[in-house]
Structure 1
């Protein structure tokens, strides 16, 4: 998954998923310009395997993270020296997630993503909506729904790994709930802020409270 080669940056002229555009407006009489990107809304799921008290995450190569890592290593040109910037620098731990691109309920999309990426067949009754938030407010302003899914080993029906036909390469990983806060705050581990939020939410609202 991290055997990356022949990396280069080219101009984006057309995309099915990312649509850049510019907004012209006036704010308190001052003319302004703001550049934005249109992308899909999304769902993301904190999967809790209660059989073994672990969180089920995904790990995958993220080109945008890799390119930023390359820049921090002095690779700012159109091509990246992959010997200097190895592929593992682009690997990111994330919650199971997916874009809203189907004509069905968002919880149904979350259910499908859990099966596709992590291999668990989760009844909709085991999916709890945590909250709905705006992501990328400076650039995209899209909605992202957070869900909490309680699963058991008995619900595991496949290895997961994502949709191979779409080129997805996903590794399913497990993090002990007991160690999850340490994991979340470890700056050496690449992860998005949504994962940190979900772990903190669980420990605030779901974790068993000790009686003092």
Structure 2
């Protein structure tokens, strides 16, 4: 998972997942504009294994996170000296950064782009309900076969409101070792490389607030939801 090389950054002119737009509008008599991305809605699933009393998360490399860390590393190591013509020419067109291969000494370790997340997926199958899509993701990513009827809807919310405005619907699924039918890991045909991770219930809140462990807001929110709504059922403290 953490062997990343041959990085190259190019302008994105076509994508199956993102479409950039600029909207112009008047607000209280003032003309404004805003750039945004149109993308798919998504589902996420908080999985709790009742056999081992642990949460089941996924861990994967996220290029967008890695590139943010790369930009930070470049800023820290950059010198205030003037750029040479050669250095300026190395900048890619339209303001995009140059190839990372040209700045290999500045590359952070690949682990800088690895995050802990809830099992999740895009809502891109119009013939399936949200529950069915969530069920498929749990099976593909984490290896648990859970009936869609057993998924409890927690809530839905807007994610990335400044850029995409897409909606994510979060579910809760209780599983046991008997539901485990494979090792998970995602769909290799789709380029997924996912590691299944288990977080013990009694360590959950410490894990959620540990800033040294990169994670999504969905993990933090869902652990808090479980603490407030489900932990009394298992009579195990989830306090930090």
For the superposition of Structure 1 and Structure 2, which TM-score range results when normalised by the shorter chain?
A: over 0.9
Distance 1:60 1:138 in 2: 24
Could you tell me how far 1:77 is from its partner in structure 2?
A: 3.5
CA distance in 2, matches of 1:137, 1:14: 22
Q: Tell me the TM-score normalized by structure 1.
A: 0.95
Superposed displacement of residue 8, structure 1 = 2.0
Matched residue SS, 1:8: coil
1:139 to 2:163 alignment = yes
Matched residue of 2:218: which SS? helix
Flag the structure with higher strand content: 1
Alpha-carbon distance in structure 1 between the residues aligned to 2:131 and 2:204: 25
Q: Say yes or no: does 1:79 pair with 2:99.
A: yes
Listed as ranges, the gaps of 5+ residues in structure 1 are: none
Q: Deviations over 1:125-156 (max 9, x none)?
A: 32100001111111111111000000000000
Report the Cα offset of residue 6 of structure 1.
1.0
Answer whether contact 1:161 1:169 (CA < 8 A) is retained. yes
Larger CA deviation: 124-133 vs 18-27: 124-133
* Distance in structure 1 (CA, Å) of the matches to 2:189 and 2:122: 16
- Flag as ranges the 4+ runs of structure 1 deviating above 2 A: 79-84
SS at match of 1:134: strand
Q: Give per-residue Cα distances to partners, 1:176-199, cap 9 Å, x unaligned.
A: 111011111111111111111011
**Deviation at 1:82?**
5.0
Q: With structure 2 as the length reference, what TM-score do the two structures score?
A: 0.85
In 2, Cα distance between equivalents of 1:131 and 1:183: 22
Q: Is the 8 A contact 2:73 2:108 kept in 1?
A: yes
Q: Is 1:94–2:117 an aligned residue pair? A: yes
- Assess if the C-alpha contact under 8 Å between 1:4 and 1:82 holds in 2: no
SS of residue matched to 2:232: coil
Give me the whole-angstrom Cα distance separating, in 1, the residues matched to 2:13 and 2:150.
42
| Aligned-residue RMSD, C-alpha | 1.4
Per-residue CA deviations over 1:64-99 (Å, capped at 9, x if unaligned) read: 000001111116942224553111111110000000
Size of the aligned set, in residue pairs, is: 210
